[in-house]
Amino acid sequence: DGDNANSYLTAPISGTIVRRAVTLGQTVAAGDAGADTLFTIADDSVVWADIAVYKQDIGRIRIGAPVALKTDAGNVLALSTVAFVLPVINETSRTATARVIVANTDGSLTPGQFVTADLSVGNASPVVRVPQTAVQIVEDKPSIFVPVEGGFAPKPVMIGATAGGFVEIRSGLAVGETFVSQGGFTLKAQLEKDAFGDGHGH
């Protein structure tokens, strides 16, 4: 009781308390290096995904290579790139580790979760690539929505190989050109809705 009834602990990071090792009424001391941790806090807004890479494939992994993290069912959880490859091979599994740093603002990934990684590897020439979600089929042609005066319009493109959640654009989209990476399906649906309405209006 009294002036010292309440004590405040300031956490060095923001996040969620995932473990509490202190109970009400327990005596604790500040500055005791040997003391137990009182609270464990996890910040999962950014997560690391460590990918096991077979020894024979290590030389093909490039920093910056696109990576798609997927569930066992093949659903894409996140898209990112290889941040770095750890220069150590596990003696038991004979694998190396490629680390991917993923923004997890939507909480789709959970620390400790197992995922499948789809990596783009090799020494191919640079190409224009966009997320698969950006490509929509409009009037039987692969298209990407680009900004135009007053809104967005579909632009036909020629697509190539697909890997790591990305698709190669062989023609129709220039390097640096602005396009819609998310929400293309919604724009397509609105376009079809408007076309349907115009047809009945005549």
pLDDT tens string 160-200: 877 768 888 888 988 888 999 888 888 888 888 776 655 44
The residue ranking higher by pLDDT, 28 or 97, is 97
Q: Which of 66, 90, 119 is the last residue of a domain?
A: 119
Tens digits of per-residue pLDDT, 99-119? 999 988 888 888 888 988 888
Same domain, 99 and 81: yes
Residue 31 CA from chain centroid, whole number: 39
Specify the number of domains making up the chain: 2
116, 70 Cβ separation under 8 angstroms:
yes
**Residues 52, 100: one domain?**
yes
Asked if 51 and 58 touch (Cβ cutoff 8 Å), the reply is: no
Q: What is the pTM of this model?
A: 0.50
d(CA 89, CA 55): 7
Residue 21 lies in a domain: no
Count of helix runs (H) and strand runs (E) in the chain: 1, 13
**Are 100 and 140 contained in the same domain?**
no
Are 112 and 139 in a shared domain? no
Residue 108 shares a structural domain with residue 77: yes
The range of the structural domain enclosing residue 112 comes to 46-119
Whether residue 112 is contained in a domain is answered as yes
Least confident of 18-27, 137-146, 162-171: 162-171
**Spatial contact of 57 and 34, defined as CB atoms under 8 Å apart:** no
Cβ-based burial of 13 (10 A; exposed 0-12, middle 13-18, buried ≥19): exposed
